[in-house]
Amino acid sequence: MKPKEYLLQIGRAKRRIKEIENEILETREAMNSLSCRLGSGGSPSSNQEIKSPQEKLMNQLLEHEEMLADEQRHYFGLKRLIVGQIDAVDNDVYRNLLYARYVENKRLEQIAMDLGYSYDHVRRIHGRALCDFGNKYQI
């Protein structure tokens, strides 16, 4: 794994959390929709038929919530590890750039504006910072 791929793990884990949160919202909306339909006169006559879709959605919701908790634990552990590694980078400019890019998820253009450098200069520094980081941690 290259240093850039390693550092991008934070963003991927964060996106996965958002995906799971969206799945939870969709499942809750489906449960509410089902409750409204079943409660508005269009309900099946058997209690067994009513319970089955609700139970299925409830189980799905519980699975998603477990996945969310697992993914959040993974994300925070990974973030803590990578932030610690970035903080250990000796060069202040490299450290600030890597933190802004991979932890704060800023684009290089924004980082250039924040640091008062040209975009091209930030691109060069970014490449050097990745090499330095990779050499430091044998990534």
Q: Tell which of 30, 49, 79 closes a domain.
A: 79
Share of the chain above pLDDT 70, in %: 89
Say what the pLDDT of residue 3 is. Answer: 97
Between CA 136 and CA 82 the distance in angstroms is: 13
- Indicate if 69 and 97 belong to the same structural domain: no
**Average of pLDDT values for 85-96?**
97
Convert the pLDDT of each residue in 35-52 to its tens digit. 776 655 555 555 555 567
Reference 92, options 136, 125, 137, 127; nearest CA is 125
Convert the pLDDT of each residue in 99-111 to its tens digit. 999 999 999 999 9
Q: Tell which of 79, 97, 129 closes a domain.
A: 79
CA 139 to chain CA mean position, Å: 22
Per the structure, the count of domains in the chain is: 2
Say what the pLDDT of residue 33 is. Answer: 85
- Indicate if 72 and 113 belong to the same structural domain: no
State which residues form the domain around 109.
88-139
- Indicate if 50 and 102 belong to the same structural domain: no
Q: What is the dihedral of CA 28, 32, 34, 36, to 10 degrees?
A: 180
Q: What is the dihedral of CA 47, 50, 54, 56, to 10 degrees?
A: 90
Between CA 36 and CA 115 the distance in angstroms is: 54
63: which residues sit within 8 A by CB, 6+ positions away?
none
- Indicate if 75 and 104 belong to the same structural domain: no
